[in-house]
Structure 1
Amino acid sequence: MLCTELGGIVEAVVEVPIDKLIISPYNVREDPERDVNILVESIREVGLLQPLTVRRSKKYPGKYEVIIGARRLTAIKKLRERGEWGDTVPVIIKDLNDFEALLLSLHENIKQRTLTETEKARAMKRLKEEFKLSEGEISKRTGITLKDVSNLLKMLEVLEDIGKEMVTKPGRWGERRRLVLLKKPTPPEIPRAKAEEIMKVIPSSIVRIITDFADSLSRYEELRSVDLKNILAEELGVLQQRQLIEAIKRIRREYKKAREEGREGLETLLDIIKRARKRSEKKVSLNVLVASDIRNRIEDIRKKYNVSLSTAVEICLKIGLKHRRDVEEQLKAVHSS
Structure 2
Amino acid sequence: MKFKSFLITEENGDFKRNIIEKDITELPAHDTLIKVSYSSLNYKDALSSSGNKGVTRNYPHTPGIDAAGVIVESSNENLKPGTEVLVTGYDFGMNTSGGYQEYIKVPSEWVVPLPKGLTLKESMIYGTAGLTAAISVYKLVVKGEVKPEDGEILVTGATGGVGSIATMLLKKLGYEVVAVTGKLQEIDYLLEIGASKVIHRDELAATSKPMLRGVYAGVIDTVGGNILSTALKALKYNGVATACGNAAGVSFESSVFPFILRGVTLYGVDSVEISMKERTIIWEKLAQDWKVEGLDKVLNEVTLNELSDKIDSILAGTNVGRVLVKL
Normalising by structure 1, we get a TM-score of 0.25
Which of 1 and 2 has higher RCO (CA within 8 Å, sep 6+)? 2
More helix by share: 1
TM-score under structure 2 normalisation? 0.26
Higher CA-based Rg = 1
